[in-house]
């Protein structure tokens, strides 16, 4: 038997056992009764599904790479070896380990995120509050909003360099979702809350700080959640443009130019993992904060 | 210190591009300290408008409200308000909701806490200080609403159908609670309701409004001592009298245009 057949068989076995396990869990049995009210059971079930899903994905990839036999589609195995090597020794071109590239990308990502929050939240609150300011800003904002953030990359990289360029692209990517959602949050405030604050003697500023800001927080968090997904795409894409300065995107770009395909794939895997981590972080923050705020 | 509330020739006109609608016509009333006055009227007659005008949440077209001889402009903590939909801040705990007015007034934290606790106890919510609003039942929410409005010691408590969103049983309990709280805190109350039963049960005086534009049709003195028995002949007589007055106002057109359009 050749490798391909083995993989196809493996794939089928994996799916079938997965289905059997899940079926056994869903139907009452004396060996393992799945209790959907039990948190550990639910998590176990989710874990099994996720694991099977990933295994099947890797097997399909493996099979495709053997089938197409193209250097630009390495097997998962060579990708894994490249990944391990990159973490241990780094790559010869940039002279940096994967940790270095990752920390550079993450630093830029969070810098862009913080700047976007610092500007978009107060601005969004004011836009929601003042119709005049909204009427004044809308034409410009509406003109800028449809531009893909990555379109700014060449300009930003040229004007502010390889560190601040990607940060600004991330900033643009996160800015708009946060701004729109914050503004929407203020518009959606229960007018009774504002009235209640007023009858308790709150001034305009106090109403703004003590009612409008907290009431908008769930919306701000939602904007943040969307923004973090966009921002992570922005950081990698803008680094692809750079011909200097490190970062995971930059790493992928130089490896592709040299034709080191397993390294390119290793970079892509890193992006995927960090992407999942940042979005789960956003989801987690959203959940914790909205719960703390008593709004769900 | 006589904190008499005087409402003088209050009038409100809504202007749209096409027409002017008079919502409230020449409303004058004097409320003595400690009095509980209910306002009843045909639905949509402008009861809420009246309350919002007194609260300062709306500008009257003419007329004024004064407390202890001082004219009120804009909303202020001297006129506390309790809302039908509670309007509690869901991101704050019970304690923090009650403390809101004191926070606004710049009362130091420790004193704020003490005062808030006193009012939380007064409305019977001890033990629930750190609960979130969404964990409370409707009746408990409105207790928080009352405590929050009382904490700044308003000269008058404006209540806009405060028990309208509660079920019948909770409603009766809350009516008794309100009387107990009033007795304890000696608060003046202006109470809007569409329930005549509630009005007769609670009030010293009942103001009956005409249909839109609202003006005073009658003011009924309820001389019955508390606690009142809903089944007593006196209670039933007063209820009937007010219901008849309201029915006279409720001369409806045979078919509503809205009904033809299928509801709203």
Contact B90 A196 (CB under 8 A): no
Residue A30 has pLDDT above 70, yes or no: no
Chain B: give the shortest CA distance to residue A119, in Å.
24
B80, B149 in Cβ contact below 8 A? yes
- Confidence (pLDDT) at B251: 65
Tell me, yes or no, if A190 comes closer than 8 A to chain B by beta carbon: yes
For residue A202, name the pLDDT band (cuts at 50, 70, 90).
Answer: very high
Tell me, yes or no, if A294 comes closer than 8 A to chain B by beta carbon: yes
Residue recorded with tokens 């159908």: B161
- Confidence (pLDDT) at B238: 92
- Residues A206-256 pLDDT 10s: 999 999 999 999 899 999 999 998 999 999 889 888 777 888 999 999 999
- pLDDT (mean) for B136-143: 92
For residue A141, name the pLDDT band (cuts at 50, 70, 90).
Answer: very high
- Using DSSP's 3-state secondary structure scheme, residue B29 falls into strand
B28, B7 in Cβ contact below 8 A? yes
Q: With beta carbons under 8 A apart, name residues in chain B contacting A213.
A: none
Residue B79: which of A193, A199, A211 has the nearest Cβ?
A199
- Confidence (pLDDT) at B259: 47
Burial class (CB in 10 A: 0-12, 13-18, 19+), A115: middle
Contact A195 B57 (CB under 8 A): yes
> Which residue in B has a C-alpha nearest to residue A218's C-alpha?
B91
Residue B2 has pLDDT above 90, yes or no: no
Any idea which of A62-76, A100-114, A191-205, B98-112 has the lowest mean pLDDT?
A62-76
Residue B175 has pLDDT above 80, yes or no: yes
Residue A200 has pLDDT above 90, yes or no: yes
Q: How many beta carbons lie within 10 A of that of residue A54, not counting itself?
A: 10
> Which residue in A has a C-alpha nearest to residue B88's C-alpha?
A193
Phi, psi of B89 (to 5 degrees): -90, 110
Cα–Cα distance measured from residue B24 to residue B61, given in angstroms and rounded to the nearest whole number: 9
Report yes or no on whether pTM surpasses 0.90.
no
- Using DSSP's 3-state secondary structure scheme, residue B209 falls into strand
Contact A201 B56 (CB under 8 A): no
Contact B81 A296 (CB under 8 A): no
Residue B263 has pLDDT above 60, yes or no: no
Beta carbons within 8 Å of B8's beta carbon, 6+ residues apart: B28, B63, B64, B65, B66
Contact B77 A211 (CB under 8 A): no
Residue B227 has pLDDT above 90, yes or no: no
Cα–Cα distance measured from residue B237 to residue A40, given in angstroms and rounded to the nearest whole number: 64
Any idea which of A11-15, A155-159, B128-132 has the lowest mean pLDDT?
A11-15
A192, B85 in Cβ contact below 8 A? yes
- Confidence (pLDDT) at B264: 40
- Residues B192-212 pLDDT 10s: 998 999 999 999 999 999 887
- Using DSSP's 3-state secondary structure scheme, residue B232 falls into coil
- Confidence (pLDDT) at A135: 92
Strands B79-82, B20-31: pairing kind:
unpaired
- pLDDT (mean) for A129-146: 92
For residue B257, name the pLDDT band (cuts at 50, 70, 90).
Answer: very low
For residue B189, name the pLDDT band (cuts at 50, 70, 90).
Answer: very high
- Confidence (pLDDT) at A31: 61
Q: With beta carbons under 8 A apart, name residues in chain A contacting B83.
A: 192, 195-196
Contact A294 B100 (CB under 8 A): no
Contact B103 A210 (CB under 8 A): yes
- pLDDT (mean) for A50-69: 86
A174, A113 in Cβ contact below 8 A? yes
- Residues B66-88 pLDDT 10s: 888 888 888 988 899 999 999 99
Residue A173 has pLDDT above 80, yes or no: yes
Residue B256 has pLDDT above 60, yes or no: no
- pLDDT (mean) for B147-173: 90
Mean pLDDT score of chain A: 87
- Confidence (pLDDT) at A40: 84
> Which residue in A has a C-alpha nearest to residue B132's C-alpha?
A294
Any idea which of A6-20, A152-166, B173-187, B235-249 has the lowest mean pLDDT?
A6-20
Residue B246 has pLDDT above 90, yes or no: no
Q: How far is CA A211 from CA A197, A204, B83, in A?
A: 7, 10, 16
Contact A198 B80 (CB under 8 A): no
Residue B132: which of A197, A203, A294 has the nearest Cβ?
A294
For residue B225, name the pLDDT band (cuts at 50, 70, 90).
Answer: confident
> Which residue in B has a C-alpha nearest to residue A203's C-alpha?
B104
- Confidence (pLDDT) at B260: 47
Q: In this prediction, what percent of chain A has a pLDDT beyond 70? A: 94
Contact B57 A196 (CB under 8 A): no
Q: Which of A119, A108, A145 is nearest to A239 (CA)?
A: A108
- pLDDT (mean) for A108-128: 94
Counting Cα atoms < 13 Å in the Cβ hemisphere of A198 gives: 16
Q: With beta carbons under 8 A apart, name residues in chain B contacting A212.
A: none
- Confidence (pLDDT) at A32: 63
- Residues A268-283 pLDDT 10s: 999 999 999 988 998 8
Contact A200 B77 (CB under 8 A): yes
Reading across the β-sheet that carries B5-15, which strands appear in turn?
B20-31, B5-15, B62-67, B70-71
Q: What angle do CA B174, B81, A209 make, to 5 degrees?
A: 125
- Confidence (pLDDT) at A27: 66
- Confidence (pLDDT) at B254: 40
Residue B261 has pLDDT above 60, yes or no: no
Cα–Cα distance measured from residue A10 to residue A15, given in angstroms and rounded to the nearest whole number: 9
- Confidence (pLDDT) at A89: 85
């Amino acid at each position: 038997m050749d490798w391909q057949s083995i993989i196809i068989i493996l794939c089928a076995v994996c799916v079938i056992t997965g289905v059997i396990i899940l079926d056994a869990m869903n139907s009452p049995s004396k060996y393992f009764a799945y209790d959907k009210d039990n948190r550990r059971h639910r998590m176990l079930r989710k874990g099994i599904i996720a694991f099977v899903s990933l295994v099947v994905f890797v097997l399909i990839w493996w099979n495709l790479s053997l089938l197409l036999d193209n250097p630009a589609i390495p097997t998962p195995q060579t990708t894994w070896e490249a990944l391990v090597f990159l973490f241990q020794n780094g790559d010869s071109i940039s002279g940096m380990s994967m940790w270095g590239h990752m920390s550079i990308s993450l630093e830029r990502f969070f810098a862009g995120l913080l700047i976007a929050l610092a500007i978009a939240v107060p601005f969004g609150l004011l836009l929601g509050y003042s119709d005049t300011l909204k009427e004044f800003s809308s034409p410009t904002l509406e003109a800028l909003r449809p531009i893909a953030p990555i379109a700014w990359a060449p300009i930003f990289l040229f004007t502010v360099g390889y560190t601040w360029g990607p940060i600004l692209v991330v900033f643009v990517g996160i800015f708009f979702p946060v701004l729109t959602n914050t503004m929407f949050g203020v518009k959606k405030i229960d007018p009774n809350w504002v009235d209640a604050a007023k009858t308790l003697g709150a001034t305009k500023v106090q109403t703004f700080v003590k009612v409008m800001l907290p009431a908008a927080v769930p919306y701000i968090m939602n904007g943040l959640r969307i923004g973090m997904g966009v921002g992570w795409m922005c950081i990698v894409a803008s680094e692809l443009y750079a011909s200097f300065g490190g970062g995971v995107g930059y790493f992928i770009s130089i490896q592709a130019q040299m034709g080191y395909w397993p390294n390119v794939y290793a970079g892509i895997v890193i992006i995927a993992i960090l992407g999942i981590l940042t979005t789960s972080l956003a989801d987690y923050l959203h959940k914790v904060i909205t719960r703390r705020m008593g709004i769900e | 210190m006589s904190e008499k509330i005087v409402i003088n020739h209050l009038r409100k006109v809504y202007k749209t591009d096409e027409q002017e609608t008079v919502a409230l016509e020449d409303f004058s009333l004097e409320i003595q300290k400690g009095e509980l006055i209910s306002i009843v009227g045909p639905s949509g007659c402008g009861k809420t408008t009246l309350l919002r005008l007194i609260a300062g949440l709306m500008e009257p077209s003419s007329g004024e409200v004064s407390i202890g001889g001082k004219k009120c402009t804009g909303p202020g903590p001297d006129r506390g308000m309790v809302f039908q939909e509670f309007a509690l801040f869901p991101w704050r705990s019970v304690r923090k909701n009650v403390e809101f007015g004191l926070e606004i007034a710049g009362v130091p934290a420790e004193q704020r806490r003490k005062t808030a606790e006193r009012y939380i106890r007064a409305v019977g919510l001890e033990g629930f200080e750190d609960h979130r609003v969404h964990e409370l039942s409707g009746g408990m929410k409105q207790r928080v609403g009352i405590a929050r409005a009382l904490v700044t010691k308003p000269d008058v408590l404006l209540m806009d159908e405060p028990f309208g969103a509660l079920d019948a049983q909770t409603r009766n309990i809350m009516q008794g609670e309100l009387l107990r709280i009033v007795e304890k805190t000696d608060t003046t109350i202006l109470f809007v309701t569409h329930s005549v039963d509630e009005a007769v049960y609670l009030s010293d005086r009942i103001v009956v409004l005409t249909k839109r534009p609202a003006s005073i049709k009658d003011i009924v003195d309820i001389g019955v001592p508390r606690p009142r028995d809903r089944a007593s002949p006196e209670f039933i007589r007063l209820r009937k009298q007010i219901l008849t007055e309201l029915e006279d106002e409720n001369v409806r057109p045979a078919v509503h245009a809205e009904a033809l359009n299928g509801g709203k």
